[in-house]
Amino acid sequence: MGSRIDAVIFDLDGVLLDSEPLVHRAMNAYLTPDYVTAEEYAEIAGTTNECMWHWIRERYRPAESIEEIGPRVLDSIYAELDASIVAPLDGAAGLLDALRAGGRSVAVASQSSPRWVAASLRAIGLADRFPVVVTSSEVRAGKPAPDVYLHAAARLGVPPARCLAIEDSVPELRAAHAAGMTVVQLRQSKFVPPPQPEAHAVIDAYRDFDLGWLDGAPPSRA
């Protein structure tokens, strides 16, 4: 690493919005009287919706089929989003301001559905800050494959080697690393894994983001 960074690509869930507690509450609303503990939910945090539906089916054996579980849980999730007062993770808007002032491009590259991404960005007031938003619905393979990140870089017109990705979960960190980007692991949300080897730098909050990385200073894992 060490080259100039021309674009910063953000994941959504766990990076711009701490959505996992909201999804956890929605899952418990669906499963009542069964209850998913925080430790159990951590097993699936950051996975795809399909993985979550299968996990629910295998763990709790609800009467509904996989095809019926998904819409029911999604209805609960959107109800939680509508009922909650949500804000972007502290420091995210400030970093976006700094990136804009420095002439860097930005994008969102998310594993989540287009509906969820659009609704979440509106809820946290950042919908107009990202000219490029890419979801896994637009590519052949979702994370941990690099497709979402490579497509976002192509949309921005920036080579992957000159992009920095901010991620939080294991499969998503692997996706950004496989895309050949500088990878920063943000550990600011509730459900986060330990520091991962795919990350060039690990930060506990946006305040720890070093703007010098954008000009080629090598990221540090310290």
> Distance of CA 42 to CAs 88, 130, 191, 193, Å?
21, 29, 6, 9
Burial (0-12, 13-18, 19+ Cβ within 10 Å), 29: middle
CA 22 – CA 145 distance, rounded (Å)? 26
Task: Answer yes or no: 215 catalytic.
Answer: no
Q: Are 15 and 167 in contact (CB under 8 A)?
A: yes
Name the residue among 200, 203, 198, 205 with its Cα closest to residue 220. 200
Q: Is residue 11 flagged as an active site residue?
A: yes
Q: Are 170 and 143 in contact (CB under 8 A)?
A: no
Catalytic one among 11, 18, 147, 168?
11
CA angle 98-103-108, nearest 5°?
75
Identified catalytic residue from 6, 13, 147, 168: 13
Contact between 205 and 91 under an 8 Å Cβ cutoff? The reply is yes
Active site residue ranges: 11, 13
